[in-house]
Amino acid sequence: MTDEEINKVKKNLENMQVFNDRLYAYGNPKILNAFALLDQSDDHDRGLEDVLNLLDGAFWAIGGELGPIGAIGANVFCGLVAGWSTDAPPDMSNTFSSLISRFETASLDVDRQLAVYHDDPASYWDTTFTAHNETCTLSSLATIDFPTEADPGFYTLLDPAVFALDQVIWSILLKAYCYNVRWEPDAQITSDITSWLQMFYGKNFSYWCSYYWHQDSGDCGDYSYWNVTEHNVSFGAGTYKDGHISDDACAYLFIDSTEGTVINANGLYERSYVFNDMGLNTQTVYEAYASPDSEPKPWFRYLRAKRTGKPVLSDLLCEIGIDGIKERVLAAVKDDPTLRSSFRSKPNQTLERVLNVVVPEFVEFKIIVEGPRRYGLVLPLEEETHE
């Protein structure tokens, strides 16, 4: 090694410290934003693994930029952090009040380790850094010029690092707080599937649908249709709620509606990735033809609505009668055909949304979405007979 090479390594380590500091400065608001949009509180320690994933994801993202500069820089950063899985800085064993506070301390620890190398590069010249099956040594920094903050190349590296950090924090929080809820039974769609999906996603922001084509077999009553299964990102779903994440969170999260239809070029993930590859916990809700409970349901929702002055079904029945309710439902379905699917998979909450009233737990609705092989037959209330 020469003095020139040592000085070059030291200069690169200085620039990498500045880069790490800026990553923290720009990344910190991303963490705050994710918690806010998901309406969660960053009020407890999430542990070492999550902050390692944050740093590794952000640093590895620079590997594809500026040729060997990004590749070597990413390898040093990620190799340094990877070593913490078995030999973490002492302060990483502390308990922190939040992810933000652990992230801040971890960022400082990266600076400190870079400072150790900067103080005596010769002693660490052959130190190896291994991450993602790639290896380099500290001496590799003598072969590149990591950009200064005044160099546009600095932001060529910083932008993808901040974006990747944003992706990782959303992945962490969605897996911690949310479910991929599958709604059953499936819907059968006979219209153009792409148009239907775009209309559906335009009104159900947190959803994704899997589907396949069923060809008419020629059997009596069979027909051709798209079989559609609804899924949504949910905090937990049930009879009267789908637990969806906020519309603002969806607008920030998703790049597309249907595959290839971009709705936010700055979004974090394609819709299908979130549901198929992110690794969310799963939940299945089957609503449409569930048997009535053998025991009376609690009246909590009804009593709460009456106490707070929210409109309930009985108010609407007194106003327009059951025929008026039927007319409203049919008009809503005519205006939004995707409601047919929603009434089939989650009838109770869809009815509440359409009518804008609370449907008491002790009132049972059977909503049948008719199709070529599915019919509704209503027997009127039996009249009393008197001898």
Q: What is the pLDDT of residues 172-226, one digit of tens each?
A: 999 999 999 999 888 889 899 999 999 999 999 999 999 999 999 888 778 899 9
* pLDDT over 80 at 290, yes or no: no
* pLDDT over 70 at 50, yes or no: yes
> What whole-number distance in Å separates Cα of residue 294 and Cα of residue 266?
50
> What whole-number distance in Å separates Cα of residue 241 and Cα of residue 248?
18
Element (H, E) at 110: helix 99-119
Angle, in degrees to the nearest 10, between helices 68-82 and 99-119 = 110
Pairing of strands 281-286, 179-189: parallel
Are residues 9 and 158 part of one domain? yes
Confidence of residue 291 (pLDDT cuts 50, 70, 90): very low
- Domain finish residue from 176, 200, 223: 176
**Residue 125 counted as domain residue:** yes
What residues form DSSP beta bridges with 208? 231
**Residue 383 counted as domain residue:** no
Are residues 166 and 146 part of one domain? yes
* Residue 342: predicted pLDDT: 84
User: What's the number of domains the chain is made of?
Assistant: 2
Q: What is the pLDDT of residues 69-82, one digit of tens each?
A: 999 999 999 999 99
Confidence of residue 102 (pLDDT cuts 50, 70, 90): very high
Q: Report residue 282: phi and psi, to 5°.
A: -115, 150
**Residue 368 counted as domain residue:** no
**Residue 376 counted as domain residue:** no
**Residue 364 counted as domain residue:** no
Are residues 162 and 52 part of one domain? yes
Are residues 104 and 115 part of one domain? yes
Range of the structural domain that residue 307 is part of: 178-355
**Residue 197 counted as domain residue:** yes
* Residue 218: predicted pLDDT: 83
**Residue 194 counted as domain residue:** yes
**91 close to 109: Cβ distance less than 8 angstroms:** yes
**Residue 372 counted as domain residue:** no
What percent of the chain clears pLDDT 70, i.e. is strictly above it? Answer: 94
* Residue 383: predicted pLDDT: 65
Are residues 171 and 148 part of one domain? yes
Are residues 161 and 64 part of one domain? yes
* pLDDT over 50 at 293, yes or no: no
**160 close to 65: Cβ distance less than 8 angstroms:** yes
* Residue 337: predicted pLDDT: 87
More confident residue, 291 or 48: 48
3-state secondary structure of 224: coil
* Residue 288: predicted pLDDT: 47
Strand order in the sheet with 225-234: 207-214, 225-234, 179-189, 281-286
* pLDDT over 90 at 289, yes or no: no
Mean pLDDT of 266-274: 97
